[in-house]
Amino acid sequence: MPWRWIFLALIGYGLWHAWSGRTQQQPEGVLAPNAPRQIAVDRRTALEKHGYTLEPLARFEVEARVLGREQYRTDRESKLAPVDLALGWGRMSDSAVLKKVSVSQSNRFYFWRVDEFPIPQDEIVASSGNMHMIAANAAIEKRLRNIRPGQLVSLSGYLVEASAPDGWRWRSSLSRTDTGFGACELVWVEELSVR
């Protein structure tokens, strides 16, 4: 009898996982026309989460299309930021362009691949990014966990540098045109809407 419940639970988890990973369809055209807005902060009042100190580096706002969502559970960073979102704006929010761009996420990185460039390579780099999300509260964390590729998100908060008493550090990029190690944004999310 207990095996039946385990089997049903596994089926339920598989169905939920398939549903949460499916892409939400959107019409063609640029859905998020503006680049992220970033404003340097003068006075930096430190934030705190799970024993980590978060120093705001810049005020940050973005409206973007979700290109991918990856959840992490086993790395040290997952205690702070269990969800990474690969986001696209400008022409990287257009379904016609995204049909020709393959997107994946792994090991806290976002990867894209094309057979033929639908837009210039520099534009792909400058109009998309991988962002590590630190939820300011439980309601935002729940919403982050339920986001699906294809949805549009609007979020605001801060780009931050996280540190721990043992000397560990994790710093946000402050550029939209960098690539590779250290190029991801580390975002303290205070407001989030999803559509």
The CATH number linked to 168 is 2.40.50.140
- Asked, for residue 84, whether it belongs to a domain, the answer is yes
pLDDT of residue 1: 52
pLDDT of residue 29: 87
Q: How confident is the model at residue 28 (pLDDT cuts 50, 70, 90)?
A: confident
How do residues 103-162 score in pLDDT, each as one tens digit? 999 999 999 999 999 999 999 999 999 999 999 999 999 999 999 999 999 999 999 999
- Asked, for residue 141, whether it belongs to a domain, the answer is yes
State the pTM of this model: 0.86
151 neighbors 66 (Cβ within 8 angstroms): yes
Q: How many domains does the chain have?
A: 1
Structural domain that includes position 35: 26-194
- Asked, for residue 127, whether it belongs to a domain, the answer is yes
